[in-house]
Structure 1
Amino acid sequence: MGVELPVWGRVVKSNGVVPFEVLDCTGEPIEPIRRYLHDFQAQGRRPGSVRSYAYDLLRWWRWLHVIGVEWDRATSAEVRDFVLWLQRAPKQRRAARTKSAATVGTINPITRKQYLTDHYQPRTVRHSNAVLRSFYEFWLERNGGPLVNPVPQDRRGRRRPNAHHNPLEPFRPEGRLRYNPPVPKRRPRAMPDQHWEALFAALRSDRDRALLSMVISNASRANEVLGIRCADVDWGDQVVRVRRKGTDAEQWLPASAEAFVWLRLYLDSVGPLQPSDPIWWTLRRRRQGTAELARRPLDYDALRAVLRRANEVLGTNWTMHDLRHTCALRMLRDQNLSLRDIQVILGHVHLSTTQLYLEEEPEEVIRRVHEHLVARREAGRQQPVPVAIPAPGYNAQDLAVLFGRTDG
């Protein structure tokens, strides 16, 4: 589809109750989105989720602005065309690619992982549909917006929805969203030991070595490890306290002795910190306004820059989530740990999510089959080759000349 969305409106940080707001082209908040995000924030959502929902709703508003349809007059036809556009259109970028332009969508020969493409992935489309569905459900409950949710559910082949509904309980949503594209199944993959050693050697500072050593030893997520404060480190028991994604629940996780050694070396170079201070800080001091030069807490963008610099040296495209997968698969191969133990460390609510790591990696299967073939070949060399006795009527010397066998 040849529709190009204009740069209309923007998402900005806010100092109010809601951490992010969506503004129109005149700089005024878009009222329907503002009220929805207030309700969304009241449900205890994290700032990252509010930001993600705000950008999805801004993209939907830009689409409505192009096709000339008011938000409360949208139908499933507009949502269908919007999904078709997302599946074909390139992403909107603030600046053109530079170094990464040559690798867009290609496969890295070392990691065998695909680089990010310039098009929206199926998970992004499904998330956009879920956001729009939730947004219009909010307004339908308040007798606003269209009469029917424009993001329909597909119930074909299912029984009648809420057939045995209890009138004392709210209706439960049933069925998948109609325009959700299928998501290809991905297997968790471990980083080979030699690649981890190469990545660790490419790191430039004790801070980076401490951070990545901690992640590969306790499988914490990027936002979880970045939220660790000085009071969250127990040096005696060698555990750290993280706040879990989604639930924000506190949990102590073990870390390797090497991670604590690098953490001690890094903190000695930073200087004294308060118990409430984060442990990860930028190495360079920068000036903010008229203030003096000072370090800033390490954020997600700065952490991505750490891996980007190491990847440029190695010619790879490793991510922080690769370290989490590597730690999970290493623990899974340890017979002293149960699947329940791994579920607790990974912070999975359901055991079925942890069971995804039980699927064998194709590379690991190929490696074991190669070892099996080599073992059979070595065993065959050690056994004496039986000497065949010619059948009556055949000359042994003629057979030796024919098949190239020499006796003695």
Structure 2
Amino acid sequence: MPWLVVDGNGQPVEPIRRFLTDFVARDNRTGSIRSYAYVLLRWWRWLRVVEVEWDHATSEETRDLVLWLQQAPKERVSARTISAATAGKVNPRTRKQYLDDRYKPRTIRHSNAVLRSFYEFWLETGEGPVINPVPLARPGRRAHAHHNPLERHTAEGRIRYNPRLPKRRPREMPDEGWNSFFAGLRSDRDRAIVSLAVSNGARAAELLGVCGADLNWGEQLVRVVRKGTGAEQWLPASPDAFMWIRLYLAALGETPGLREPLWWTLRRRDRGDGLRRHPLNYEALRAVFRRVNALLETNWTMHDLRHTAALRMARDQHLTLKDVQVILGHAHLSTTADVYLWEEDEAVVRRVATHLADRQHRPEQPAEPLALGYDSSDLSVLFGGFQP
């Protein structure tokens, strides 16, 4: 078990342990197990506050937890320092909002989904409560009204206390912003990583998992392991990205093995086993972005490069939306269409202004001639001699 929830005595909480064991057996990734464990830890703490046992919880406890999450600040390991002045504000350069200490609607919806799946597991075993304390909203009709008795029951409707998600546009990095950001990078390794990300839209975790055998120099392809499915996929990369990879490996002075990570720290560090390089992790990559953002007074992230690559591909007339879906690794075409098929407000305003200007200077069209009258003899033949 990569993650467990323990009580005050350091012993695993048995209901959560059994659920997570089943969750691991269904071949879920370590990151998902960690996320579920933290949600259940928060739920257990909440039940302790309201003095309710886990198998006696009702929809009232779920409702009150949602209300609390909507107004409570997050717990922080350490207090904010530099970021305290910008938390929750909008960056004037990127037009992006800085993260604040509030729980977002997606976090609350994820919490509800985890809790509902936890209680569904115990309902199936017959050892938990009789009713799931995370109810569904089914307006207008009875649940499973037309259910086929030969098929298993599936969930219907959305969770009752899920907050609405605001419609958000993808965070694109403009060309001038990209040029400034790229100029602020300090090493060929960092330039190689961001060049790969902006050329094929791979996620940070996917790029950090690339090994020496995952580079096809002849075809200029990079093999990544997709998040969620774990499937291997070859992605194209720009010639500039491979140029920066070559420069990075030349400066590194060491060629990673076929099964060794491609990205390494630039300096050797001693962690009790002598001076040596260590594989680059996600926190170190975030530090790269923090340095550049502090220099430019921006708040770009690695995921903004994925959005930028996707929007560039979506606007290319030589690529179909199916092509974009395959490169991004989306399971459904509708996901790609919903996120990346949108028009900039400025472009729409310009086109409408041009339309109005054209109508202002468009010459008036001559009136079309009226239809001539019908001949009475034709009407007589048409109606068989009957005259109205």
TM-score in terms of structure 1 length: 0.84
Structure 1 residue 166 displacement after superposition: 2.9
Structure 1 residue 198 displacement after superposition: 0.3
- Report the equivalent of 2:162: 180
CA-to-partner distance for each residue in 1:347-389, whole Å, 9 max, x for gaps?
Answer: 111111111211112244456678x59x99xxx9xxxxxxxxx
- Show the 5 A alignment for 1:259-278: 259-270=241-252, 271-278=254-261
Count of equivalent residues = 356
Instruction: Measure the CA separation in 2 of the matches of 1:296 and 1:74.
Output: 47
User: Which runs of 5 or more structure 1 residues have no equivalent in the other structure?
Assistant: 1-17, 381-408
Letter in 1 for 2:43: W
Instruction: Measure the CA separation in 2 of the matches of 1:362 and 1:175.
Output: 34
- Of the three residues 192, 197, 221, the one matched with 2:179 is 197
Instruction: Measure the CA separation in 1 of the matches of 2:251 and 2:40.
Output: 44
- Report the equivalent of 1:216: 198
- Report the equivalent of 1:324: 306
CA-to-partner distance for each residue in 1:286-320, whole Å, 9 max, x for gaps?
Answer: 2223x112222222221111111111111011111
Instruction: Measure the CA separation in 2 of the matches of 1:325 and 1:364.
Output: 19
User: Which runs of 5 or more structure 2 residues have no equivalent in the other structure?
Assistant: 362-388
- Of the three residues 316, 320, 331, the one matched with 1:338 is 320
Instruction: Measure the CA separation in 2 of the matches of 1:131 and 1:281.
Output: 36
TM-score in terms of structure 2 length: 0.88
Q: CA 1:74/1:349 → structure 2, altered by over 3 Å: closer, same or farther?
A: same
- Report the equivalent of 1:8: none
Structure 1 residue 244 displacement after superposition: 1.1
| 2:107 pairs with 1:124 | yes
Instruction: Measure the CA separation in 2 of the matches of 1:110 and 1:263.
Output: 30
| 2:57 pairs with 1:90 | no
- Report the equivalent of 2:229: 247
1:127 is paired with a residue whose SS is helix
1:134 is paired with a residue whose SS is helix
Q: Which moved more, 1:361-370 or 1:114-123?
A: 361-370
1:131 is paired with a residue whose SS is helix
Instruction: Measure the CA separation in 2 of the matches of 1:299 and 1:98.
Output: 23
Structure 1 residue 162 displacement after superposition: 2.2
CA-to-partner distance for each residue in 1:7-42, whole Å, 9 max, x for gaps?
Answer: xxxxxxxxxxx2111122221111111111111111
Instruction: Measure the CA separation in 2 of the matches of 1:168 and 1:293.
Output: 64
| 2:11 pairs with 1:34 | no
1:22 is paired with a residue whose SS is coil
- Report the equivalent of 1:4: none
- Report the equivalent of 2:386: none
Q: CA 1:287/1:364 → structure 2, altered by over 3 Å: closer, same or farther?
A: farther
Does the aligned pair in 2 maintain the 1:187–1:361 contact within 8 Å? no
- Report the equivalent of 1:398: none
Q: CA 1:286/1:25 → structure 2, altered by over 3 Å: closer, same or farther?
A: farther
Q: Which moved more, 1:279-288 or 1:133-142?
A: 279-288
1:251 is paired with a residue whose SS is strand
Percent identity for Structure 1 against Structure 2 = 65
- Show the 5 A alignment for 1:3-402: 18-157=1-140, 159-270=141-252, 271-289=254-272, 291-356=273-338, 357-366=340-349
RMSD across aligned C-alpha pairs, in angstroms? 1.7
Structure 1 residue 233 displacement after superposition: 0.7
